[in-house]
Amino acid sequence: MKLCSDKLVEEERRLIANNREYNEKFEYASNRIKTSKYNVITFLPINLFEQFQRVANAYFLFLLLLQLIPHISSLSWFTTIVPLVLVLTITSVKDATDDYFRYKSDNQVNNRQSQVLIDGKLQNEKWMNVRVGDVIKLENDQFVAADILVLSSSEPHGLSYVETAELDGETNLKVRQALTVTSELGADMSRLAEFDGEIICEPPNNKLDKFTGTLFWKDKKYSLNNEKMLLRSCVLRNTEWCFGLVIFAGPDTKLMQNSGHTKLKRTSIDRLMNTLVLWIFGFLICMGTILGIGNSIWDNEVGIKFRSYLPWDLWIKNPIFSGFLSFWSYVIILNTVVPISLYVSVEVIRLGHSYFINWDRKMYFAPKNTSAEARTTTLNEELGQIEYIFSDKTGTLTQNIMIFNKCSINGRAYGDAYDELGGKMEISEKTCPVDFSFNSLADNKFRFYDSSLVEAIKLGDPSVHEFFRLLALCHTVMSEEKSEAELCYQAQSPDEGALVTAARNFGFVFRSRTPETITINEMGKPVVYRLLAILDFNNVRKRMSVIVQNPEGQIRLYSKGADTILFERLHPSNEELMYVTSDHLSEFAGEGLRTLVLAYRDLDEAYFNKWQKMHYHASTALENRDEQLSALYEDIEQDLMLLGATAVEDKLQEGVSDTIANLTLANIKIWVLTGDKQETAVNIGYSCNMLTDDMNEIFIISGRTVLEVREEIRAAREQMLGKPICNGHIFPEKNGPSQLRSVVEETVVGDFALIINGHSLAHALEADMKQEFLNLASMCRTVICCRVTPLQKAQVVELVKMYKKAVTLAIGDGANDVSMIKTAHIGVGISGQEGMQAVLASDYSIGQFRYLQRLLLVHGRWSYLRMCRFLYYFFYKNFAFTLVHFWFGFFCGFSAQTVYDQWFITLYNIVYTSLPVLAMGIFDQDVNEQKSLVYTRLYEPGQLNLLFNKREFFICIIHGVYTSIVLFFVPYGAFCDSTRDDGQHLSDYQSFAVTVATSLVMVVSVQIGLDTSYWTAVNHFFIWGSVMVYFSILFAMHSNGLFSIFPGQFPFVGNARNSLIHVTVWLIIIVTTVMCIIPVVVFRFLKLDLKPSLSDKVRYMQRARKKLRPTTHRMRRVNRTSSRRSGYAFAHQEGFGELITSGRNMRFNNPSPALTGRFMLSSSSWIENLRKKTTDAVSMNSSEKNVKQ
């Protein structure tokens, strides 16, 4: 360790087994975990400190302190402390509840029992008491307490099976094995207690698939890797017991290292609100300054005349000081322009939107019992503003369930269905599959439709037999025979499982394996092959091979891999067969199938023995082991004899094509970022209609060097723009780079697509080229990035976020998608075949890709619409409420006297107007869900941020200012000369306050009625109920009862009754309400006629054609006929060949809506359309077609 920035940075870890005294010198972390933030003592101070770090809370605390100063406050302290305490309490309860559940989870984990070897005996200890260097015992179905090195187990060769679902979501069993030297310790407690090996290894890190260390014991050293480690929270399966040495504990474990803090995501609405609140604070200061200056002038000119009979306080003799105090008084009074209840209301609305997503049965995926889930409540409205979607391919667009579909054997293609006359048939659910009843071990779920292949099998065609023999032998699948004729395969990839299952159904059944043998049933006869070597798969080799010896003693190498790799290694005699097979591969690729080429080689025994010796030396080398093995593999995998090729179908998920079409019509750009090969990704692109033969051009960037990539990018841009480009800019061009980007995107005519591989993308993302790459990609309708790493996925997302300033969404289903899911503004995880890591890292989870359109076009759009309408109305009602004080200041000597009663000020935002605006923010909708999906261009206002922005905010201010002027000056002018029925004046202060307050409640209630598009019983109850509650509280506060209990707080007995019984007062209220509402009604009517919005047109069209049957138009589907080569598409993992041959994994037992009317609606006058559409049905239909085009 070394000291860095006052903290110990661990460079390497050293420990000695069974030596706590030595290990404690390094002060390694204990095994106790703590994810909770508080305890009983620290909760209140820490939570309050966190809450007051929010500017709004600190601001209202500052106001509360000001209100405690009697010389500047004309309001009681309770007007601020009541809402502030309410907000702090609600937030504290929420934080305490969340933290309590974290505490319970921590406590449950920390108190799990573990058996620790102490002083030669096993003792039960809580997990939190386990220390680095302890030897612990695990039993079957137990969780692993810490990151441990496997020492020994109950299985042969020190083997252990673990389930890593808690770590990565995958339920497939993983195989781990102890060193041979430690596996000999067995379960002998005395020998385990005497074990004093020293471990030197890497420091704690978050790399789940990597571990590097060395064991020093008995003057020897042994290499350690990830295959010898059991990680915390894995579960021991199918293993009676195992012993392990604790390497990392508690927060140092890889699980906890991976559970770091996720970057806080905030919506554009949040960022805009923060800016607007700062502006409002500035506006508040300006109003306070104006009124403070007015107070100084009034005090100097007028107020001084009152001092002879109404003396001021002795310490207030200076008019300037009086104005200074008045400034702070008005800051207190006018603070309601940004009430604290705004933030509470926003969170309540977001919570309601999240529940709507969770409760949506139309996003429920029954086969997996998976519902949509909003895993965060703070990003809902951002779902309505997405401009770019970054999608994984396998498991996201496709099902990641592989099906053996077709094959090519010795130059003949199999897999198509034929009728009785020999004509090719379309395969459907009604098509009769091949009968496999001749094979008692066949998988009943397997379907194949070409009977000629079964006939070839039965006739004993040697090429066909050798083809399926290869599939039954060349793999790393594990077999578990639960009962006679009931086989269960555990494959490391769905591709490999599909191929072994196909061989099984065609009579070559893989039954079992040992480290030295593979047992298969060949047409009902058991055959045992001696397994001599496995040449393992990796991403560079793109192939795997096995070397086996049959019962006759013949040694043969079987290989399967990418066509581009194996074709280079074929014997020259295979040239003609290679061309035929290549044509078949092109046909398979054109159908979007994933392909593998199969080949074999007969080996001379002498040659193999020599090669085997070299292989042994290379596999035990301490340096350059991988390079030496790779060279040996390359040497023996030559002069192969071609057998044929397989074609596996990775089916598209249901509704993918329609979903992509809908989202594209909503002006959302979809980029596919996949680790799969280029050919396969392109074929899926065609299947999804992301790529079509009608496109102007499909650009493929495949350069290997920086210069090649740069030239390809510039050439593509020149072709798109029809202009030469110099140094990344159109030439000649006078516009700057920022102007250029917008001009470029507008001047491109036609549909283009961009395909780029991982090597080229690495260069394209370099600092001096990424802007050019982004400019090119932005001009394309479709972008597909192939063979990209998880880091590159995140870099592409970050590039668009940084330079396009667009709202991004990333969607995936695997651990390799986590980085881009966390980087994007919105991360969506799909519960798929690749585990749950993507879901756990996501903001929203869904069961299928097709639900994404509903999540965005319905829930996202509604959430954005509701939040924008909520904010507009909320700011409006508070400006109208607060600015009345500003106008009153000019008529009360700038004395900071309030217009309203103090209790009205307190209850206005938390009782009188809170529920109606919440109802609108939670339930409102402009058009229903069906029309939201049909008219996808309704989504565009969110992308353009049209519904609430700085312009709309200023309109809201103007509206609020106008309303406040009417609210004050109409009653003020009317009260000047009005009299009651008995001839007395109406113009007392309390009657004026009641009249203005009542007018305000009526105006904002009518206004929210006008703003509400979708009325529910809740809206009616909240709006009119709030009005009734206002009058109930008003009369209660002016009653004898409250006066008798709190005479100091409610002194104006009977004022409400005396004011509201007069017709004049009600006339003033009605006139005030009408004057506030009429301009709004007129403006909206003119806007609807002259410049209707998209939703206005849709609503009108539905009313106009409600008696007519809607016409359905379906998008023309472009069938994929062009020939594309598909090569290696194999999701296998490196390392399992070594496991098999070493015997470490052996167990010896006696395993759409119709795409209707989505185009931009016309902008013709609403009234003109009305005349046209009501003339007759024919003209209406004609007009509707024009609207949709």
Q: List the catalytic residues.
A: 392
State the distance between the two ends of the chain, measured CA to CA, in whole angstroms.
69
Taking alpha carbons only, the member of 490, 479, 472, 461 closest to residue 404 is 472
Chain-centroid distance, C-alpha 385: 14
Residues composing the chain: 1189
Contacts of 377 (CB under 8 A, 6+ apart): 347, 350, 351, 353, 354
Whether the Cβ atoms of residue 1137 and residue 531 lie closer than 8 Å to each other: no
Taking alpha carbons only, the member of 567, 572, 551, 308 closest to residue 1125 is 567
Give the number of other CB atoms < 10 A from CB of residue 569.
17
Report cis status (omega within 30 of 0) of the bond before 732. Answer: yes
Contacts of 1074 (CB under 8 A, 6+ apart): none
Taking alpha carbons only, the member of 62, 82, 89, 67 closest to residue 910 is 82
Compute the radius of gyration of the chain from its Cα atoms.
Answer: 38
H helices, E strands: number in the chain: 43, 39
Chain-centroid distance, C-alpha 166: 20
Listed in order, strand segments (DSSP E) in 225-263 are: 229-230, 235-237, 241-248
CA distances from 972 to 885, 969, 1051, 1063 (A): 13, 5, 23, 16
Taking alpha carbons only, the member of 1030, 1029, 1024 closest to residue 1009 is 1024
What is the DSSP-derived secondary structure letter of residue 836?
S
Per DSSP, what are the bridge partners of residue 160?
Answer: 176
Calculate the dihedral angle through the C-alpha atoms of 118, 121, 127, 129, rounding to the nearest 10 degrees.
-30
Contacts of 569 (CB under 8 A, 6+ apart): 599, 637, 638, 639, 640
Print burial letters for 417-437: b (CB count within 10 Å at least 16), e (below 16).
beeeeeeeeeeeeeeeebebe
Distance CA 608, CA 613 (A): 9
Phi, psi of 94 (to 5 degrees): -60, -45
Per DSSP, what are the bridge partners of residue 681?
Answer: none
What is the side-by-side order of every strand in the sheet holding 844-846?
A: 373-374, 844-846, 826-830, 808-812, 388-391, 669-673, 782-786, 752-757, 697-701
Element (H, E) at 253: none
Distance CA 131, CA 30 (A): 6
Distance CA 1099, CA 932 (A): 11
- Give pairs for 272-275: CB < 8 Å, separation 24+: 272/948, 272/949, 272/950, 273/346, 273/871, 274/55, 275/950
What is the DSSP-derived secondary structure letter of residue 908?
I
Contacts of 522 (CB under 8 A, 6+ apart): 465, 469, 507, 508
Contacts of 55 (CB under 8 A, 6+ apart): 274, 277
Whether the Cβ atoms of residue 172 and residue 492 lie closer than 8 Å to each other: yes
